[in-house]
A and B are shown apart, each in its own frame.
Chain A
Amino acid sequence: MIRDFLAADQCLKCNICTASCPVAKVTDLFLGPKAVGPQILRFRHPDYALPNVGEEWCSSCGTCSLVCPHDVPVAEMIARMKERPTRKVPWRDRIISRPEVIGRFASRITPLANSLLKSPRLRSALEKYLGISSKAILPALARTNFKKALREYYVRTPNRLEEISRLTVGYFHGCSTNYFEPRIGELAIAILERLGLYVFLPPQVCCGLPLQSNGLFDAARKLATQNIKYLEPFLRERIPIIGTSPSCTLAFKHNYRAILGIDTEESRLLANSTYDFFEFILHFMPDELFRIKFRGVAARALYHPPCQLRSHGIGTPALTILREIPELELEVSESACCGTAGTYGMKSERYEVAYSVGENLFRKAITMDADFIMSDSETCRWWISKHTNLPAYHPLEILARSMGIV
């Protein structure tokens, strides 16, 4: 924690973070990142816990850290405050922060689970007893798990890769691709293979980010340690890990070290070897990629770079590539966050605020008369799609279309 205190004193109180915070802008229930983060740390005392001035209103979008001109890790400070020994984490938060457990359980009874999710009775019961907003998006389960469908891609140890002479990458699919949207993973692999790469699935568990956002740090650390253990042998062979969900890859790149405090040689190796899908193909495969003659995709589309992707500090590599697709009329969302920020928008007491955060974005999509929306994060896609009634795709789905893969 000493690092936090030092960084707090580095805060100039310029309020640039407050001005950019998408939550503070729409509700006075949140004091704003400066007040809840560096400012409250001024009241630190070795014998007393820090006062809580409403950190739970922070959606963990990370915008404050991103815009801070003085390198204060505001969002990280606030995230760590959520790990209070005295804090009572509601059951609801313990449930929605475990997509892998939910997915594993529900996928045994897929048809039943899917029809139950549509039942208004169940939804109002979930709202009443657990505080999961009845308007929140609980996505339908896919008929088959991604991992099960692509069993032949599974590689347990790097020894199995010795024969392969091509450039090899491991694909981290995350929970949403595995249980809800296997098509994203299938297309990701198809694109990478078209670019000449050898792709495999390393052993993996949930990245743990939802647990961390809900203040369940010990459980998040367990998953982080598990992932590091699974991936380390591949990392030692200098095999990059590519993800299509920017929140999972952000956890690998940044949160394990900067928020969960797992700052080891292995975690640094993982951070340095993890890439966002578009970041990887733009920087490492540009010749292979731009050699392809892209087919036109005649449509008007709004691209929303998720807050979690912005926090990678790599800009918007998907946008750079999408701009090369003929006939695709692109507009870019200026909103720092769509509002749902993972599990935040699922909670009854946060739903209205989450909606207000995204309102400008929804309005833009509707007034520009977009045919569809693109965003790299699954929760953003589901959320924006619900509030605009427009289809939402991962940008790689449109790239796959332009490459003639679908």
Chain B
Amino acid sequence: MTDVLVIGAGFCGLYAAIAASKRNARVTLVASGHGGLSISHGCIDVWSSSAPSRALSRLKKTHPYRLAGKDALNTALETLDLISHDADYPFIGTLSKPTILPTAFGAIHTTAYAPLSLAQTGIQKNIPISIASIAGLRDFFPTLLSKNLEMNGYTVRRTMQLPLPGPVPQRDLYATDIAQRFADSSNRERISRLWRPRLAGVDRLGLPAVLGLHHSQRVFRSVQDLLGVELFEIPTPPPSLPGLRLENMLSDTAIKMGVDIILGSPAAGRIDHSGKNKRVSGVSLQTAGGEQNLDAHSVILATGGLLHGGLVAGRNGNIVESVFNLPVEYAESHQEWLKPSPFDEQPYEKYGLLVNSRMQPIDLHGDPIFENLFAAGGIIAGADRQIEGSRQGIDIATAQRAVEAALE
């Protein structure tokens, strides 16, 4: 019997498991597969506007941030800061001033906290930068990137392609392939010797994020010293190293703290009918061999929204919650789910579970459906996290609140 059972291995679930473990709970995390971190930019978006703290206090009462409360967000950010320092993978930024970063396509990404290697220089309109791609790396185009940045008012001095030593690769390279080439210090020296002469006149260089998967902070510093220019990394299309580094940091921390992680087995909710109060007893896992029951005092659902498996849309226009079959708030008419432009606010993004301020899913009367079931992250209704730029902030604020309520 575990104290807290977390379902979902994305950013939200991993954070919830660590937060519960920090409060000395026995924690088990189950997930049918990895979460979305390896396709993420690896930053902590809290709110996209220029002054998040003011914007947050003006939100609707049903917005996940309002329900979780400011304290939960602050506690979570502090906890994350501690974890990242322990792991030598520091984040920089504040809630009062946004950090501006370029995307791989030259769009502007406004975030709150970003890994040092992405954000140590930031980009500023009056300081010219250079952008390089690496020979063989797929899906990274410096010309496209710089033209788009220039449209946004930034100055790009040079774009270039940097070669890799050794034989020509047999296929397109992923960011993870190049990171492997940077893992070894003598290899780093070889690459830097090849690059240095090509960097005449460059003092700020944006590279695709390929500088190491493990001990990436060390790799970043050493490459920067070897090249003698200020570097910043730009997250690539998947697999994205900043996301993977964040994933590794969180799962390593969770394992170190004694969280039992069960990956690869989908979970089905089990309801406890024995007592007077409505409670869940845990889940049944579909393992390789067969079903296995896991019992828990409390369960935290961190399974994500419609794009992540926590909510599943049926062919007949219904949306169901995938583990406990909880009631979901959504528009009955399929026509209303999507707006024509992908850049519009999307109604489906706001679909999800209605919860109270203890993060318990509630019914139409506002009563908790199960007293020991909590929800966190994208499965909660009421936020368009894409447009708001609030994805990771909501993940950790609601996870923090859910953990506190589960262990009350």
Q: Is A65 located at the chain interface by the 8 A CB criterion?
A: yes
Given contacts A68-B33, A314-B265, contact A24 B173 (CB under 8 A): no
Within the assembled complex, what's the spacing in Å between the Cα atoms of A272 and B261? 22
Task: Report if A20-B38 is in contact (Cβ < 8 Å); known contacts: A310-B264, A314-B265.
Answer: yes
User: Is the beta-carbon distance between A18 and B176 smaller than 8 angstroms?
Assistant: yes
Interface residues on A, range: 35 or more
A316 to B262, CA, bound (A): 7
Whether A315 lies near B262 (C-beta < 8 A) is yes
A28 CB-CB contact with B under 8 Å: yes
Q: Flag whether A26 is at the interface (Cβ < 8 A).
A: yes
Say if the beta carbon of A52 comes within 8 Å of chain B: no
Shortest CB distance B21–A (Å): 13
- Whether A20 pairs with B265 at a CB distance below 8 angstroms is no
Chain A residues packing against B (C-beta within 8 Å): 14-16, 18-20, 24-26, 28-29, 31-32, 65-71, 249-250, 252-254, 271-272, 274-275, 283, 310-316, 319-320, 323, 332, 334, 360
**B177 near A312: Cβ-Cβ < 8 Å:** no
Known pairs A24-B176, A28-B169; A16 contacts B260 (CB<8 A): no
Q: A19-B38, A28-B169, A312-B289 are in contact. Are A334 and B309 (CB under 8 A)?
A: no
Q: Which residues of B contact A28 (CB under 8 A)?
A: 169-171, 173, 177
- Contact between A25 and B309 (Cβ–Cβ < 8 Å)? no
For the complex formed, measure the closest distance between the CB of B272 and the CB atoms of chain A, giving whole angstroms: 19
Given the known A-B contacts A67-B34, A271-B289, are A313 and B263 also in contact in the complex, defined by CB atoms under 8 Å? yes
CB-based contact A314/B176 at 8 Å = no
Q: Please report the C-alpha to C-alpha distance between residue A254 and residue B38 in the assembled complex, in whole angstroms.
A: 27
With A313-B262, A313-B263 as contacts: A14 and B289 at CB distance below 8 Å: no
Which residues on B sit within 8 Å (CB–CB) of A271? 288-290
Nearest residue, chain B, Cβ from A269: B290
Cα distance, A66 to B261, chains bound together (Å):
13
Known contacts A16-B34, A19-B244, A272-B289, A67 near B263 by CB under 8 Å: yes
Distance to closest chain A CB from B198 (angstroms):
23
Of A16, A25, A249, A315, the contact of B33 (CB 8 Å cutoff)? A16
Q: Which residues of A contact B33 (CB under 8 A)?
A: 16, 66-71
Assess A19 versus B288: contact at CB under 8 Å? Given A69-B35, A313-B263: no
What separation, in Å, do the CA atoms of A354 and B256 have in the docked complex? 27
- Determine the distance from Cα of A24 to Cα of B33 in the docked complex, in whole angstroms: 19
Contact A313 B264 (CB under 8 A): yes
Residues on B with C-beta less than 8 A from A14 are 36, 38-39, 238
**B residues in contact with A310, CB < 8 Å:** 263-264
CA distance A227 to B248 in the complex (A): 40
Judge whether B287 and A15 touch: CB under 8 Å.
Answer: no
**Given known A-B contacts A20-B38, A28-B171, A311 and B288 have beta carbons under 8 A apart:** yes
Residue numbers in A under 8 Å from B261 (CB-CB): 315-316
The 4 closest A-B pairs by CB, nearest first: A19-B239, A315-B262, A253-B289, A313-B265
4 additional A-B residue pairs with CB within 8 Å, beyond A69-B32, A314-B287: A313-B262, A313-B265, A313-B286, A314-B292
11 A-B residue pairs with Cβ-Cβ distance under 8 Å, sorted by A, are A14-B39, A15-B174, A16-B33, A66-B263, A68-B34, A252-B289, A274-B289, A312-B287, A313-B265, A314-B289, A320-B260
Complex: how many Å from CA A22 to CA B176? Answer: 10
Chain B residue at minimal CB-CB distance from A13? B238
Does B258 touch A at the CB level, under 8 Å?
Answer: yes
| Interface contact B239-A16, CB-CB below 8 Å | yes
Residue of B nearest to A255 (CB): B288
* Bound Cα distance from A315 to B265, whole angstroms: 9
Q: Is B285 an interface residue (CB 8 A)?
A: yes
Scoring B261, B285, B309 by chain A CB atoms within 10 A of each residue's CB, the highest score goes to B261
* CB of B24 closer than 8 Å to a CB of A: no
Instruction: Kindly list chain B residues whose C-beta atoms are within 8 Å of the C-beta of A15.
Output: 38-39, 174, 238-239
Query: With A and B bound together, what is the CA distance between A20 and B251 in angstroms?
Result: 14
